[in-house]
Amino acid sequence: MTSELTMGPLLFHWPAETRRDFWFRVADEAPVDTVYLGETVCSKREPFFNPHIEEVSERLTRAGKRVVWSSLAQVVTAIDRRASTGIAEFEAADIEANDASLLPLLRRKPHRIGQYLNVYNEATITHLASNGAYHFSLQPELPAETISRLTEAAEAAGATTEVQVFGRVTLALSARCYHARAHGRTKDNCLFVCESDADGMELQTRSHHKFLAINGIQTLSHRYLELSAEIPLLVAMGVSAFRLSPHSLDMIEVARAYRQLLDGRISTDETFAKLAGLGMPQPVMNGFFHRKPGYLHVGAQPELS
């Protein structure tokens, strides 16, 4: 089975032209197989990028990339509902559902399940697959043993699994926008202040230790998830796709490093060295995978029971 490298949806509110040029470069240069487009965090951001979305999608498709449309992770307002309904109405589109409200609209249609839907046991995999889900992007906080069992359940149901291997991970969502509140604004009158933080707004504890990051309604890890050392075990488990979450560092080089690793052209140590050479702005972590506190970076591989 060939391992698939994917570029997840852009979580941050970059300027429209910056976002467009990023996806153009992914189309032309990144050795990824699948690209996830669509706004997953805040429906208010969508109109900024809508003028470019068709051109971006076509360029990615011409470059041989598979385009998947990711839905919002949280549907609260009428605008959110219209955005989710709009995605579900794409007849020929490959759709990733991130909120349960989208599932009735996709019943019996082939679709993907995103990271924001709680899929923690085999019964959930089996049920969702019976309703048309054929691919599951698993939650980044799952330990190795759970990933292995869910992948087995997915295979039994005729589905595949995907694991995020790079980038900040989502820890929580809120109906309120802390990003706006931190600047003395409301969610409805945010003036899109999140655009000023290309990789999220960093938070510190009262003792001035860097702790988390905020992106609109989203609470993210401060550290970057980095699972290059765990990829051989994930491949052995049967995981078929490996997700990179876009950030403002050189994601093309990140993709090249992981592609070389998946193709067996470089070792896990060489991959980590390449990533470190890109000047990642934060430390890395892999604790969740090893059943440890998520922010830790654990060197040893876990043993599967």
In this predicted model, what pLDDT tens digit does every residue of 59-97 receive, in sequence order?
A: 999 999 999 999 999 988 888 888 877 777 776 679 999
Encoded tokens for 229: 């050392």
3-state secondary structure of 103: helix
| The amino acid at 232 | P
Backbone angles phi, psi at 248, to 5 degrees: -80, -5
Segment 252-266 shows an average pLDDT of: 97
The reported pLDDT for the residue numbered 84 is: 78
Segment 258-270 shows an average pLDDT of: 96
Segment 248-263 shows an average pLDDT of: 97
Task: Classify each residue of 94-108 as buried b or exposed e, where b means 16 or more C-beta atoms within 10 Å of its C-beta.
Answer: bbbbbbebbbebbee
Segment 92-111 shows an average pLDDT of: 89
Q: Which domains does the chain have, with CATH numbers?
A: 4-168+219-290 (3.20.20.70)
Q: In what order do the strands lie in the sheet with 218-221?
A: 170-173, 218-221, 210-215, 201-204
The span from the CA of 235 to the CA of 240, in Å, is 7
pLDDT beyond 90 at 253:
yes
pLDDT digits (tens, 9 = 90+) for 214-233: 999 999 999 999 999 999 99
The span from the CA of 221 to the CA of 41, in Å, is 15
Q: What is the pTM of this model?
A: 0.94
Contact 179, 201 (CB under 8 A): yes
Q: What dihedral angle (degrees, nearest 10) is formed by the CA atoms of 117, 121, 126, 131?
A: -20
Nearest to 132 by CA among 153, 157, 162: 157
282: confidence class by pLDDT, cuts 50, 70, 90: confident
pLDDT digits (tens, 9 = 90+) for 154-173: 999 999 999 999 999 999 99
